[in-house]
Chains A and B, each alone.
Chain A
Amino acid sequence: MASTATAALSLRLFAAKLPFPRRPSRPPPLLLFPPSSAKPISFQRIADAQPPPPPPRASSSPSPAQLQPIEDLPPNLRSIVALFQSVPDPKSKYQQLLFYGKNLKPLDQAFKTRDNKVEGCVSQVWVRALLDSDRNVVFEADSDSVLTKGLAALLVQGLSGSPADEIVRVSPDFVTLLGLQQSLTPSRNNGFLNMLKLMQKKALMLAAGAESNGNGAVPAGEAKDVGIGMNSDTGVNRSSVSESDVDGGREVSVEKSNLEVDEVDSESSLGSRGQRIRERLEKELSPIELRVEDVSYQHAGHAGVRGSDGETHFNLRVVSKEFEGKSLVKRHRLIYDLLQEELQSGLHALSIVAKTPAES
Chain B
Amino acid sequence: MRMTMAMEGAALKLAPPGPFRPNSALALASAAASSSSSRASFRRLSSSAAASSSSSVLADSDPSASGSLSLGHLTRPDFPILHQEVNGSKLVYLDNAATSQKPSSVLKAVLEYYEAYNSNVHRGIHFLSVRATDEYELARKKVAQFINAGESRDIIFTRNATEAINLVAHSWGLSNLKPEDEIVLTIAEHHSAIVPWQIVSKKTGAILKFVDLDGGEVPDVSKLRGMLSKKTKLVVVHHVSNMLASILPIEDIVQWAHDVQAKVLVDACQSVPHMAVDVKALDVDFLVASSHKMCGPTGIGFLYGKSELLTSMPPFLGGGEMIADVFLDHSTYAEPPSRFEAGTPAIGEAIGLGAAIDYLSEIGMQKIHDYEMELANYLYESLQSVPSVRIYGPKPSRNINRAALCSFNVEGLHPTDIATILDQQHGVAIRSGHHCAQPLHRYLGISASARASLYFYNTKEDVDNFIEALNSTVNFFNTYK
With CB as the reference atom, state the residue of chain B lying closest to A306.
Answer: B207
B416 touches A145 (CB 8 A): yes
Q: How large is the interface on A (under 10, 10 to 19, 20 to 34, 35 or more residues)?
A: 35 or more
Cβ–Cβ < 8 Å partners of B420 in chain A: 147
Given contacts A24-B84, A146-B477, A147-B420, contact A36 B445 (CB under 8 A): no
Which residues of chain B are near A31, meaning CB under 8 Å? Answer: 25, 28-29, 108, 111
Question: Are the C-beta atoms of B442 and A94 separated by less than 8 Å?
Answer: no
Contact in complex: B19, A35 (CB < 8 Å): yes
B54 and A36 within 8 A (CB) = yes
B480 touches A146 (CB 8 A): yes
**When the two chains form their complex, are residues B25 and A38 in contact, meaning their CB atoms are under 8 A apart?**
no
Q: Are A24 and B445 in contact (CB under 8 A)?
A: no
Which residues, 88 to 132 on B, are CB-close (under 8 Å) to A? 88, 104, 107-108, 111
Contact between A146 and B28, CB atoms less than 8 A apart: no
Residue of B nearest to A146 (CB): B417
A-chain residues with CB within 8 Å of residue B413 when the two chains form the complex: 146
Contact across chains for B414 and A181 when beta carbons are under 8 A apart: no
* Cβ-based interface call for A49 (8 A): no
Among B28, B55, B217, B433, the residue within 8 A (CB) of A122 is B433
Q: Known contacts A36-B20, A306-B205, A351-B442; is A181 also within 8 Å of B87 by CB?
A: yes
B445 near A332 with CB under 8 A, answer yes
The stretch among A51-59, A95-103, A204-212, A268-276 that forms the contact with chain B is A95-103
Report yes or no: A349 in contact with B439, Cβ–Cβ below 8 A: yes
1/0 per residue, CB under 8 A from A, across B420-435: the answer is 1100110000001110
A332 contact set on B, CB distance < 8 A: 443, 445
Chain A residues with CB under 8 Å of B212's CB are 333, 336
Q: Which of A29, A144, A302, A351 contacts B414 (CB 8 A)?
A: A144
Residues of B within 8 A of A283 (CB): none
Q: How far is the CA of A181 from the CA of B424 in the complex (A)?
A: 8
Contacts of B111 in A (CB 8 A): 29-31
> A42 to chain B: which residues have CB within 8 Å?
84-85
Q: Choose the segment among B194-202, B270-278, B280-288, B363-371 that binds chain A (4+ C-beta atoms closer than 8 Å).
A: B194-202
Determine if B55 and A36 form an interchain contact, defined as CB atoms under 8 angstroms apart: yes
Give the Cβ gap from A107 to chain B, nearest Cβ, in Å.
16
The reply to whether the CB of B344 lies closer than 8 angstroms to some CB of chain A is no
- A-B contacts counted at CB < 8 A amount to 139
Nearest A residue to B432 via CB reads: A122
Residues from chain B with a CB closer than 8 A to the CB of A39 are 83-84
* Docked-complex contact A123 and B84, CB < 8 angstroms: no
Query: In the complex, what residues of A have CB within 8 A of residue B54's CB?
Result: 35-36
**Distance between A334 CB and nearest chain B CB, rounded to angstroms:** 12
**Residue A356 CB within 8 A of the other chain:** no
B425-A91 in contact (CB<8A): yes
The residue of chain A having its C-beta at the shortest distance from the C-beta of B439 within the complex is A349
Whether A305 and B202, one on each chain, are in contact in the complex, defined by CB atoms closer than 8 angstroms, is: yes
B104 contacts which chain A residues (CB < 8 A)?
30, 35
> Does the CB pair B434–A33 fall under 8 Å?
no
Other-chain residue from B86, B201, B444 in contact with A305 (beta carbon distance below 8 A):
B201
- The reply to whether A305 and B208 form a contact with Cβ atoms under 8 Å apart is yes
List of B residues within 8 angstroms of A305 by Cβ? 198, 201-202, 205, 207-208
Q: Which of B19, B87, B199, B213 has the most CB of A within 10 A?
A: B87
Please tell me if the beta carbons of B448 and A329 are within 8 angstroms of each other in the complex.
Answer: no
Does B25 contact A302, Cβ atoms closer than 8 Å?
A: no
Contact with B along A327-359 (1 / 0, CB 8 A): 011011100100000000000011110100000
Q: Does A44 contact B (CB under 8 A)?
A: yes
Please, how many angstroms separate the alpha-carbon atoms of A350 and B443 in the complex? 9
B447 within 8 A of A: yes
Chain A: CB-nearest residue to B28: A31
Shortest Cβ distance from A121 into B: residue: B416
Q: Which residues of chain A in 180-219 are interfacial with respect to chain B, using CB atoms and an 8 Å cutoff?
A: 181
Q: Does any Cβ of B come within 8 Å of A62's Cβ? A: no
Which residues in window 422-481 of B have CB below 8 A to A? 424-425, 432-434, 439, 442-445, 447-448, 476-477, 480
As a 0/1 sequence over residues 251 to 291 of chain A, the CB contacts with chain B under 8 angstroms (1 = contact) are 00000000000000000000000000000000000000000
Binding site for A on B (CB under 8 A): 19-26, 28-29, 53-57, 77-78, 80, 83-88, 104, 107-108, 111, 195, 198-199, 201-202, 205, 207-208, 212-213, 217, 413-417, 420-421, 424-425, 432-434, 439, 442-445, 447-448, 476-477, 480
Between-chain CB contacts (< 8 Å), 21 pairs: A30-B108, A31-B28, A32-B26, A34-B23, A36-B54, A36-B77, A44-B88, A90-B425, A95-B476, A95-B480, A98-B477, A99-B480, A102-B480, A122-B415, A123-B414, A304-B202, A328-B445, A332-B443, A336-B212, A351-B442, A354-B445
List the 6 shortest-distance A-B pairs measured between CB atoms, nearest first: A36-B54, A145-B414, A328-B445, A98-B480, A31-B29, A35-B80
Known: A38-B83, A329-B445. 19 other contacts (CB 8 A): A30-B19, A30-B108, A30-B111, A36-B56, A36-B77, A37-B22, A44-B88, A94-B424, A94-B425, A98-B480, A102-B480, A146-B414, A146-B417, A147-B417, A147-B420, A181-B87, A302-B199, A331-B445, A332-B443
